[in-house]
Structure 1
Amino acid sequence: MASIQAGQTDKSPQGQDEFDNPPKGPVGVHRGPKSLWIRALPYLIVILLAVVCGVGVWAGVSGFLPWQQQKPATTSQAIKKPSISRKSTSTPSKKAKEATPAPSSPVQEPSQTPSTPAPVIDKNTRVLIVNGTGVSGYAGSKRQILVNAGYGAVTASNPTGSLPSADVVWYQNEADRATAQDVAAQLGIARVEQLAEAGSPVEVVLMR
């Protein structure tokens, strides 16, 4: 292949192109202008890293992370039971017991009810014995029993009116009640009654 001499025009049928006269200076791959997002991305990364570092430092100091939920305090921790002092429940000492005055018992006032006098047996009271049995001498035998007991005014007689159904000792006044009860006890009679119409302060009616 013949070499082309200097100063001679290349008369090859191919002709000249842009590679025959390369531009001066470095030649590289053509790059278009960068977008705003790509140019701002490094700054955003730096800001994000600064925020993460700041949060990490704050969490390390305070011991709390924002994504951690704080657990509510349990009932046993939130409500503290009051402590019971043993001194309040301790048994008081012997000196404290002695120092505490005993409650004074109320003074009982004397009863205002008048005392009832004891029943008095008056063996001088007149006693009438009525024989309702129809047996002769029966009233006299009972009279002797009372005389032997100390009665000094005892008389025996026959009935003059209506008679009771059983033996009875009547007395006219309440003051003769004790005497009538004693007469009934001496003669073995259980029935003692007050009768204002009795023929004597104490009247005995025999029906058996």
Structure 2
Amino acid sequence: MVRDQRDTYESYQKDAFDNPPAGPMGVHRGNTPWWTRLVPYLVVLIVAALAGLLVWGFYSQELQKVFVDKDQNTSQTDTSSKKKKDADEKEDDSQKEESKKGDTEKDDTKADDSAMEQQPSPQPTQQVNKQTTIRIVNATRINGYGAKKQAVLQQAGYSSVTATNPSGQLPKASVVWYQNENDKATAQDVANALGITAVEQQNGTAQPIVAVLLN
């Protein structure tokens, strides 16, 4: 008896092709969601709405108002910024001027202080002493001329005045001598009262002030 041997699926050894993955494979297409079919219509509606808004804005001038308002806001912002910048610059310039003015005043004050320090202190004003002893030397050949000038000084307020004749060397012209620097103002006053222009300091005189009268 011949054995009936037929090739069947079970008679072959299984490999990787005998366990295919689940689901569609190859040229099979999966199921698409329902909402993807609406995407083209939505795009068309959005584009149409935008186009309608643009047309409406153009003819109604609303779109122009938007740009005009934007330009105005930009212009106002620029103007405000410029004004603020100008104000800041003016404030800086003002502060600089005040600083320079303050420095100048300080320099002037220092210069004045320095000038005052360098200036010599004023000498005390000499006073005329009407109590000073005064001698009048009559070197003229006119009798009583010394007594006449003595009376002039007494009328001027001098209380200690004497008139004498010359006893030593005489100067070439009328002169008023004084011993110390403190008597200079008094000697000048005596010379003015007697009409004498020459006033000299002379050491070794008999009295603090001596008036020599010559022709």
Q: Which of the five TM-score ranges fits, normalised by the shorter chain? A: 0.5 to 0.7
Deviations for 1:81-120, whole angstroms, at most 9, x for unmatched residues?
A: xxxxxxxxxxx96533321112232421543744311011
CA separation of 1:99/1:124 partners in 2, compared to 1, >3 Å: closer, same or farther? same
Equivalent residue for 1:203, pick from 186, 192, 210: 210
**Structure-1 separation of matches of 2:130 and 2:89:** 69
Equivalent residue for 1:151, pick from 155, 158, 167: 158
**Structure-1 separation of matches of 2:151 and 2:117:** 45
**Structure-1 separation of matches of 2:204 and 2:90:** 75
Which residue matches 1:98?
A: 94
Which residue matches 2:183?
A: 176
The DSSP-based 3-state class of the residue aligned with 1:200 is: coil
Equivalent residue for 1:142, pick from 139, 142, 149: 149
Deviation (angstroms), 1:197? 1.6
Equivalent residue for 1:187, pick from 172, 175, 194: 194
Gapped regions of structure 1 (runs ≥ 5): 1-91
The DSSP-based 3-state class of the residue aligned with 1:156 is: strand
Which residue matches 1:58?
A: none
**Structure-2 separation of matches of 1:93 and 1:187:** 76
The DSSP-based 3-state class of the residue aligned with 1:151 is: coil
Deviation (angstroms), 1:198? 1.4
CA separation of 1:137/1:99 partners in 2, compared to 1, >3 Å: closer, same or farther? same
**Structure-1 separation of matches of 2:129 and 2:173:** 25
Paired amino acid for 2:117: S
**Structure-1 separation of matches of 2:183 and 2:91:** 64
Write the mapping of 1:36-185 to structure 2, written as runs, cut at 5 A.
94-100=90-96, 101=99, 102=101, 103=103, 104-105=106-107, 106-107=109-110, 108-109=113-114, 110-111=116-117, 113-185=120-192
CA separation of 1:156/1:99 partners in 2, compared to 1, >3 Å: closer, same or farther? same
Deviation (angstroms), 1:199? 1.9
Figure out how many residues of one structure are paired with residues of the other and give that number. 117
The DSSP-based 3-state class of the residue aligned with 2:117 is: coil
Q: CA RMSD in A?
A: 1.9
CA separation of 1:99/1:139 partners in 2, compared to 1, >3 Å: closer, same or farther? same
**Structure-2 separation of matches of 1:186 and 1:97:** 67
Paired amino acid for 1:182: D
Higher helix content, 1 or 2? 2
Task: Calculate percent identity across the aligned residue pairs.
Answer: 42
The DSSP-based 3-state class of the residue aligned with 2:200 is: strand
